[in-house]
Structure 1
């Protein structure tokens, strides 16, 4: 199985500029005039040109909209230096939506790209998510 990230955008040129500047991604290949494959991350990233107001799938109740929206599926970018990454994505045009928070596993910064897609920057501390491995989950203990 291979995981990839598809990001619908209303303006392919503007999206390419943002994702290149924000994350250092580069064009791997162009697939016609409506798809760019970007490289430079652990998974392939595809920018898909999809018009504002177009139907995302047959029978969809709501059309595509590019104002800020919430989705339970979003992407996180793990970075070695959160302050540096915040500056880089902000300079590219991302909007920080809340102050940095610190959890047992690391620091988290929540953003929206210029097309309304949410993403998080994460700087892991110590063992990252492993820091919560031994913590009780919902009142129970983990392990043998």
Structure 2
């Protein structure tokens, strides 16, 4: 690999990471799509990782916080991060680091969509539960959100 090719790869990685955090596997995928050989860019990407310029942990925390603020539950966030190739241990750490109150988040999401009253009709309460399940909340979060407390 020539020095020119190395500069092109460094520039491509730098531009990617300047816009937002990216996971390691996401950078690999994007560089491969550009037609750059993995043998050429993997050592350079590892240099970025060793210097902490690329961090799966930072990416996971940033992405988890964004999804949490959009009203997504822990199950959806976990699946989303896994799709970006983030290790399960890092996903667990990111979910802990954002210090989310999943119960209140589920209640807030439910209130925004359906209002702040207890639904007495069984079918409509089931609809609320399905909606929260779709948003990625676990059953105990859902039960808290739709309860009359």
| Fold shared by both chains (TM-score > 0.5) | no
Structure scoring higher RCO (CA < 8 A, sep ≥ 6) equals 2
Higher helix share: 2
TM-score by length of 1: 0.21
TM-score scaled by length of structure 2: 0.21
The structure with the largest strand share of the pair is 1
Larger-Rg structure: 2
